[in-house]
Chains A and B, each alone.
Chain A
Amino acid sequence: MRLEPIAAPSLARRVGLPLAALAATVVIGMAVVLVAGAEPFAVLGLIVKGAVGSKFALLETLNRATPLIFTGLAVAVAFRAKLWNIGAEAQLYLGAVVTVLLGTGTLAWPAPLLLPALGLAAALAGALTLLGPAWAKARLGVDEVVTTLLLNFIVLLFVSMLLEGPMKDPMGMGWPKSERLIAEARLPRIVEGLRLHWGFGLALIAAVIVWLIQTRTTFGYAMRAVGQNARTARFVGIPVGAVTLGTALLSGSLAGLAGFSEVAGLKGNLTLDLSPGFGYTGIVVAMLALLHPLGVVVAALFVAGIFVGADSMSRAAGVPSYIADILLATALLLMVLALPMTRFRVRWR
């Protein structure tokens, strides 16, 4: 077989194929449910109901989407510039560590000063985490996929060490968890009495800012040029190494903010299960969003809905909630297949 570029792809092709990919995902998911011995349509209904069926469910989905918007943006920004950041998980955790270090009483500032300071510190921690691998890539040609991946393991062990050592809450009944943030360090709720917090608003703002950087600034242009063809970019005088480092700083900051938002907005303290793989799920989010910053918001809501819905469905119907991961992996693979097919046609010979 051979792929032939299509000069002018029709609108039906460009919209239809991604939609077909999503439809195929649903069909495959229902087949998996059938294998599990449950009623596919009922399960599908339970997932949708669990994700958006009530005010509580909807707010839960928005809450779950918040860290995914941050990590999805982090991955999307980096992938655009061909920096393969698989380490958002590590950056998230170090952002959270810094938030806890400064937010448990170390800085006794009023909230309007303290919250920006914590966010900034968390962003910086995330940025510095990615700087090492990005530097090794730019200067030594070390593959960042492997280094950022391995760093995830190291950082998680490091956090475990902190939580069983210097950062352990003496009042924690022996559990490895940190002290709670002081009241001034907590992100306020968007509506009083409901769990949704301002981390969600911050995530939306971050998406718009990233979009503006990518479309309106020279740096955004340089990132895209490096991503499309580093050699050509170098030839026209773009400092490829510096752009790679700049991209790393932006990407790592976003993932660090995810840690800040989860600790200051939702959890209030740091535990080892702060993130059930938000860094890795961010990769799926970014790919489903076609690496577009505003698309990341939509994709994160979709992915969060699947997780929240599958959790609730699992309790009600007894189908393992791992079905959420199966659905996402299928959607990811079918989507990366569908997108180039909008521009190419398969010729069999």
Chain B
Amino acid sequence: MLDILDILLSATFWTAAVRIMSPLLFATMGELICERAGVLNLGIEGIMVVGAFAGWMAVYSGLGLWPGVAVAMLAGMGFGLLHATLTVPFGLSQHVVGLGITLLATAATYFTYRIALPQVSSPPRIEPFTEWPVPLLSEIPVAGPAFFAQTPLTYLAFATVALTAWVLYRTPLGLALRAAGENPAAVEAQGLSVTVLRMGAVIIGSGLMAVGGAFLTMSAFNSFFFEMVNGRGWICIALVVFGAWRPGKAALGALLFAAFDALQIRLQQTGLGQVVPYQVFLMLPYALSILALVAMSRRAEVPAALMVPFNKGAR
């Protein structure tokens, strides 16, 4: 028990938790924007793989880090455009299209990797983002290093949450987007296009998912590996439900999940790790996600038109 307390009070633990949380924040906000506009984007896992690869590849071939982030975002938006075209104007099954996009994006990425680097046995490294400690704030005990001595992509992740919340709740665009997911007919009555709103949401949201993937190669690790996204996309879908489709709550959920993930790594090294198989610790985050989904189901405020295609003129 004392072990756990020691871990929870250490700065390195919280620093790790925030680092684990950062890619989840980007991708969760991306998914949340899609779902708020009425589109479930199951392409998230594959789009994160694309982002991780595209950002890393761009830096490896000589672009700077920030242009690399932009490349990752554009690559994600490309797959977002494909998803949006099939699901919004054509109204195809969002489940099937999303899984298809994940399969296509993952396979295309691995294929391109093999073609681009046929001879390498271990993937080449890049110079990733380095920490930018914020003066004064980073000197606060525990929370300082955790929240204010991270790489700039983490700060960008925080900003993305704030911006998503502000746009959704404080701007006419946000109102229109939320309405597209709740009552699309009313949006059309206002003279706005549901198709444009939904497609825009999916494209922007997919761009954010890709940046979440790029965080992995450009900030957390410094290289690209197969399977590196490892289910993070699916976790983000659970986080959106857990956060009841609200940016702030979803971000808190991401922190909780990341803290849990960081805790399980450390628990493996304590006395408990001698007794309990390590797989049990690895299962905990997934089990926690399922439990959270079940617990939240009672008071879920699902966007009413989520997964309902809108065909203009049809009643």
Contacts and interface: CB of A to CB of B under 8 A. Distances in A.
A98 to B, nearest CB: 19
Contact of A143 (B86, B106, B280, B293): B293
A140 interface: yes
A254 interface: no
Interface string B292-315: 011001101000000000011100
A146 B241 contact: yes
B114 A320 contact: yes
Nearest to B90: A337
B283 A151 contact: no
Interface in A305-340: 320, 322-326, 328-330, 332-333, 336-337, 340
B111 A326 contact: yes
Most buried by B among A35, A141, A150, A161: A150
Interface string B134-155: 0000000000000000000000
Contact of B277 (A161, A323, A329): A161
B93 interface: yes
A55 interface: no
Contact of A336 (B93, B283, B300): B93
B290 interface: yes
Given A158-B283, A164-B277, A337-B90, A35 B294 contact: no
A158 B107 contact: no
Interface in B261-303: 277, 279-280, 282-283, 286-287, 289-290, 293-294, 297-298, 300
Contacts of B97: 333, 336
A157 B279 CA distance: 6
Nearest to B282: A157
A136 B294 contact: yes
Interface string A143-158: 1011101110110011
Contacts of A323: 107, 111
A285 B49 CA distance: 23
A27 interface: no
B277 A150 contact: no
Given A3-B90, A136-B297, A150 B289 contact: yes
B124 interface: no
Nearest to B298: A140
Interface stretch (B21-29, B184-192, B231-239): B231-239
A165 interface: yes
B111 A147 contact: no
Contacts of B290: 147, 150-151, 154
B129 interface: no
A322 B283 contact: no
Given A136-B297, A158-B279, A161-B280, A332 B100 contact: yes
B108 interface: yes
Contacts of A143: 241, 293
A337 B92 contact: yes
B104 A320 contact: no
B33 to A, nearest CB: 18
Contacts of B170: none
B96 A147 contact: no
Nearest to B313: A2
B54 to A, nearest CB: 16
Contact of B103 (A147, A158, A325): A325
A142 B299 CA distance: 11
Contacts of A32: 111
Contacts of A73: none
Contacts of B108: 322, 326
A336 B92 contact: yes
B110 interface: yes
Contacts of A328: 103
Given A150-B238, A332-B96, A2 B114 contact: no
Nearest to A339: B92
A280 interface: yes
Contacts of A332: 96, 100, 103
Given A320-B114, A337-B92, A146 B99 contact: no
A326 to B, nearest CB: 5
A336 B100 contact: yes
Contacts of A165: 277
B42 A145 contact: yes
B196 to A, nearest CB: 12
Given A36-B115, A329-B100, A140 B280 contact: no
Given A136-B294, A326-B111, A150 B286 contact: yes
B123 interface: no
A157 B277 CA distance: 10
A198 interface: no
Given A284-B103, A287-B96, A333-B100, A154 B297 contact: no
Contacts of A2: 311-313
Nearest to A341: B90
Nearest to B278: A161
Nearest to B118: A318
A81 interface: no
Given A84-B95, A287-B96, A320-B114, A146 B234 contact: yes
B91 interface: yes
A346 to B, nearest CB: 8
15 contacts: A36-B111, A136-B293, A146-B234, A146-B289, A157-B279, A157-B286, A322-B114, A326-B107, A328-B103, A329-B107, A330-B104, A333-B100, A336-B96, A337-B92, A340-B92
State the 9 A-B residue pairs at the shortest beta-carbon distance, nearest first.
A325-B107, A329-B104, A320-B114, A161-B279, A329-B103, A322-B111, A157-B279, A140-B297, A332-B100
Interface of A: 1-3, 32, 35-37, 84, 86, 136, 140-143, 145-147, 149-151, 153-154, 157-158, 160-161, 164-165, 280, 283-284, 287, 320, 322-326, 328-330, 332-333, 336-337, 340
Given A2-B312, A86-B99, A333-B82, 11 more contacts: A3-B311, A36-B111, A140-B294, A147-B290, A284-B100, A287-B96, A323-B111, A326-B107, A326-B111, A329-B103, A336-B86
